Chains A and B, each alone.
Chain A
Amino acid sequence: MTSSSASGDAALPDGLSDSDLLDMYRTMVLSRNLDERVWLLNRQGKAAIAASAQGHEAAQIGTIKALDPSRDHFLIYYRQFTAMLGLGTTPSELLSGFLAKKGEPMSGARQFPLHGAHPRVDLFSFSNVVATQLPHAVGVALADKMRGSDAVTIVFFGDGAASQGDTHEAMNFAGIHGLPVIFMCENNRYAISVPIHKQMPLESVAARASSYGFPGVSIDGTDMLAAYEAVSAAAQRARAGDGPTLVEANVERLLPHTTDDDHTRYRPGDDIESMKTRDPLAVTRNMLISRGLLSDAEAGQIEAEAKATVNAVTDEVDALPYPTTESMYEHLFAGSRSQ
Chain B
Amino acid sequence: MSQKTVIKAVRDAMLSEMRRDPDVFIMGEDIAHRGGVFLATDGFVGEFGEERVIDTPLAESSIAGIALGAAVNGKRPIAEIQFADFVWPAINQIVGETARVRYGTNGRKSAPLTVRVPYGGGVRGGLYHSQSIEVLFAHTPGLKVVAPATPYDAQGLLVSAIRDDDPVVFLEHKKTYRLVRGEVPDGDYSEPIGVADVKRQGGDITVITYGLMLHYVLQAAQALSEQDRVEALVMDLRTLRPLDRQSIAQAARHTGKVLLVQEDTPAVSVLSEVSAIIAEEAFYDLDAPVMRVGPPELPPMPFSPVQEAAFMPSPEKILAAMRKLAAT
Contacts and interface: CB of A to CB of B under 8 A. Distances in A.
B66 interface: yes
A334 B165 contact: yes
B102 A332 contact: yes
Q: How large is the interface on B (under 10, 10 to 19, 20 to 34, 35 or more residues)?
A: 35 or more
A139 B77 CA distance: 10
A107 B104 contact: yes
Contact of B93 (A132, A142, A330): A132
Interface string A300-339: 0000000000000000000000000000001111100010
A138 B69 contact: yes
Contact of B57 (A73, A119, A173, A334): A173
Interface stretch (A162-170, A222-230, A243-251, A263-271): A162-170
Interface centre among B52, B56, B96, B108 (most CB of A within 10 A): B108
Contact of B97 (A129, A144, A146): A129
Interface of B: 25, 51-52, 56-57, 59, 61-62, 64-75, 77, 89, 92-93, 96-97, 100-110, 141-142, 144, 165-166
A138 B66 contact: yes
A174 to B, nearest CB: 9
Contacts of A330: 106-107
Interface residues of A, number: 41
A331 B70 contact: no
B110 A170 contact: no
Nearest to B57: A172
A196 B104 CA distance: 31
A110 B65 CA distance: 22
B101 to A, nearest CB: 6
B108 A117 contact: yes
A183 interface: no
Contacts of B65: 132, 134-136, 138-139, 166, 169-170
A204 interface: no
B66 to A, nearest CB: 4
A106 interface: yes
A331 B107 contact: yes
B107 A132 contact: no
A143 B56 CA distance: 15
A116 interface: yes
A331 B56 CA distance: 32
User: Of A129, A138, A143, which is in contact with the most chain B CB atoms at under 10 Å from its CB?
Assistant: A143
